[in-house]
Every structure is written in C-alpha cells, then in structure tokens.
Structure 1
C-alpha cells in the first residue's frame, strides 16, 4: 500500500479565480451592506466601544459581529471578532467556534485568485465534520456566489424561508 500523507483537519484553503479588480473584490467584504449582497442575510458589526456600525461603514479590527444566513432559522447565527490582518491578508476574523479565517488576494500564473484559509479548527470528531467539512463546503458555495454577483450573474442563495437548510 502507498504511504499516504495524513490529512490535516486543523485548516483548509479555498481558492477562486476572479477576473475582477482587487479593489472591487476587497470592497465586497468590508461593509455590512456589501456582505449582505452575496454572503449573509444579516451582517451587524459593533465597534469595540459597542457602537453599531452603519450599513455602509467599513469594518475595522476590534469590531465584533453577528451574522445570519438565508435558508437558516434566525436562531442560527454566528458571533465573532474582526482581527488585525496578517501578512498579505485584507481581512481576518474569528469565525465563532470554528477557527480563524484569513482572506487575501494572490496572483498566480497571471490570474487573480481570492484565497480563503480557515485555521485553528478544533480537532474533535464533531468539529472535523461541522467545521472542516461543513465550513469548507459553505465557503466554496459562498465564494462561487461572490464571483457570480461580481460578474453581474444571479444570486445563487436560497432566499425562500420555507426551504430551511438545517
């Protein structure tokens, strides 16, 4: 039998090629209104002092958030904190209990690529399924939806409340 490399369940990477300006890609992540355009049903951010950010106000490191998605009941929400971006990243945040997400734009083979890395995923069996498999699947879909929206295509999200995802 071939010696296989052991799967690292503590992190994953999702890449999506985008023929769109870097500024436009970054803008899609940086305000509550922009995030609701392709990712979330509800994006609320609060400053470190507890003041709620306006819908078109840029989010900042130190902000906390509350997120809800289409297709999930209102009781399904995520809470986390915006962190200081690390080398090359334009956004970094604590993604609830599922780890830390960093987002950057890279150039490879003359192609602009949006790269999302989720790391520090807990290592118990339930976290492997919910956070490694579940989050990777979710991020793959939402990054594809981002690409569709940025290219003036359809919004691929399920917005029908009677079709729940849980």
Structure 2
C-alpha cells in the first residue's frame, strides 16, 4: 500500500482585505512581485510577454525569479486554471500542482493553498513536501504583511546567505 501523506498538503491564511486585492496579488506579475517574486514573467500562448499589471490567463507559461538568488534559480511552469476572480491553478516545482482558492468567510478573506502531486524523495534535503510547505508558509505570511501593513519581509540581497560559515 502506498503512503500518499507526503504527496500533498493544504495551508490556509486569513487576510483583512477583500477577495479582489488578494486575487490581484496572485494573478498579475506586479502583484506577485510585490510579495513573492523578484521577477514574474508570464507569456501568452502566442509568446507575448504580459505587462506587469495585466492579468494572467489559463495556458500562460511563466518564468519566476526570487530575491536572494541569481537568475540561475528560475522556476518555469504553466497556468492550468484561472477563473478571473478567486481561483488559480499552476504547475510548480518537481511537477507538482498548486491551487489557490480565495474565499470570503467569517468576515475575512481566506486563501486555501493546496500543493499536490509532490514527488517522493529518498534524500531528505530534497524533500519538496517539507521545503515547499516551509516556503509557502513564509510567503503567505509576507503577503499578509504587505497587504495589511506594507512591510515586505523578504531578503532582497543575493550576497546575504541564509547559512553562516
């Protein structure tokens, strides 16, 4: 019998803002760059690069770059679904799939982030289940900080390492 507990996870975060603000933070290159990425390049199905404030669409491809890393650390993928208001789905590292579901409940805007199809790893250092869950927890915290208080918590310096020698 296969143990599938390590192939998917869900995280939930709450925000004191409206669904549209959270959706724009996920569904435009400028929105993603405000809290998540150093650079978010999206390309239409015919290869045109989307403008920074233009909404992404299903079948767009992307190249993402993070602060604190050089351009060799790039994530390439594709938008699998976008309903234009509160749901996004895209491919992510290791062939996994991330779904962002944004809802208004309990007087708050909630994000439910699901990552599935996470490949199993024998090497704990490459365990995407743990690494992605840690990463998404930080970035959802940063999104909350940016949206609610304007403070960006990301390290934006490539010369600053997270490990000391």
Query: With structure 2 as the length reference, what TM-score do the two structures score?
Result: 0.87
- 1:1-166 alignment, distance < 5 Å: 8-85=5-82, 90-126=87-123, 129-165=126-162
Q: Please say which of residues 125-134 and 46-55 is displaced more in the overlay.
A: 125-134
**1:50 Cα shift?**
1.1
Spell out, residue by residue over 1:91-150, the C-alpha distance to the aligned partner (whole angstroms, 9 max, x if none).
100003240000012355554321100001012324884310001000000000000000
Tell me the secondary structure at the aligned position of residue 67 of structure 1: strand
Secondary structure of 1:97's counterpart equals helix
Which of 62-71 and 128-137 deviates more?
128-137
Measure the CA separation in 1 of the matches of 2:43 and 2:103: 29
Cα RMSD for the two superposed structures: 2.3
Contact map agreement 2:77 2:91 (CA 8 A) in 1: yes
Distance 1:104 1:123 in 2: 25
Query: Is the 1:9–1:128 contact (alpha carbons within 8 Å) kept by the matching residues of 2?
Result: no
| Post-superposition offset of 1:52 | 1.0
Cα 1:128–1:61 shift into 2, 3 Å: farther
Distance 2:99 2:124 in 1: 19
Q: 1:7 to 1:110 in 2, by over 3 A?
A: farther
Q: Secondary structure at the match of 2:129?
A: helix
Moved more, 135-144 or 123-132: 123-132
Partner Cα distance (2:91, 2:29) in 1:
16
Question: Which stretches in structure 2 are left out of the alignment for 5+ residues?
Answer: none
* Cα deviation code 1:12-35 (max 9, x no counterpart): 111111121111111111111111
